[in-house]
A and B are shown apart, each in its own frame.
Chain A
Amino acid sequence: MQARRVGRDGLLVECASVTEVAGAYAALRAREADLRAIDIVPAARTVLLDGLADRDAALELVVALTPARVDGPAPDGAEVEVPVRYDGPDLEEVARQWQVTSAEVTRIHRETEYVVAFCGFAPGFAYCTGLPAHLGVQRRQDPRPRVPAGAVALAGEFTSVYPSSSPGGWQLIGSTALPVWRPEADPPALLAPGTRVRFVDA
Chain B
Amino acid sequence: MREAHAGWLEVLDPGALTTVQDLGRPGWAHLGVPRSGALDQPALRLANRLVGNPEGAACLETTLTGAVLRSGATTTLAVTGAGCGVRVDGRPASWGAAVPVPAGAEVRVGPALDGVRSYVALAGGIDIAPVLGSRSSDVLSGLGPGPVALGDRLPLGRPGRASYGIEAVPVPRGDRLRIVLGPRADWFTAAALAGLDGASYEVAADSNRIGLRLTGLPIERERVEVPEELPSEGMVLGAVQVPPSGQPVVFLHDHPTTGGYPVVGVLVDEDLPVCAQARPGDRLTLRVVG
Contacts and interface: CB of A to CB of B under 8 A. Distances in A.
A43 B256 contact: no
A187 B231 CA distance: 27
B26 A119 contact: no
B32 A7 contact: no
Given A6-B182, A124-B32, A183-B143, A50 B234 contact: yes
A41 B183 contact: no
Given A4-B183, A6-B236, A43 B29 contact: no
Nearest to B26: A38
B258 A120 contact: yes
A192 B29 CA distance: 11
A42 B290 CA distance: 25
A39 interface: yes
A39 B30 contact: yes
A200 B258 CA distance: 29
Contacts of B239: 6-7
Interface string A30-70: 00000000111111111110110000000000000000000
Interface string A162-189: 0010000000000000000001100111
B182 A40 contact: no
A125 B184 CA distance: 25
Contacts of B290: 8
How many A residues are at the interface, by size bracket?
35 or more
Interface residues of B, number: 34
Contact of B268 (A8, A45, A51): A8
B48 to A, nearest CB: 21
A188 B132 contact: yes
B30 A45 contact: no
Contacts of A38: 26-27
Given A10-B236, A39-B27, A41-B234, A120 B32 contact: yes
Contacts of A120: 32, 232, 256-258
B26 A41 contact: no
A154 interface: no
7 contacts: A4-B183, A6-B263, A43-B232, A43-B233, A47-B234, A48-B29, A123-B33
Listed from nearest, the 7 A-B pairs whose CB atoms lie closest are A48-B234, A7-B266, A41-B234, A44-B231, A120-B258, A4-B183, A119-B32
Interface of A: 4-8, 10, 12, 38-48, 50-51, 118-125, 164, 183-184, 187-189, 192-193
Given A41-B258, A120-B258, 20 more contacts: A6-B183, A7-B266, A7-B267, A8-B266, A8-B269, A39-B26, A39-B29, A44-B231, A48-B236, A50-B236, A118-B30, A118-B258, A121-B258, A123-B31, A123-B32, A124-B31, A125-B32, A188-B31, A188-B33, A188-B132
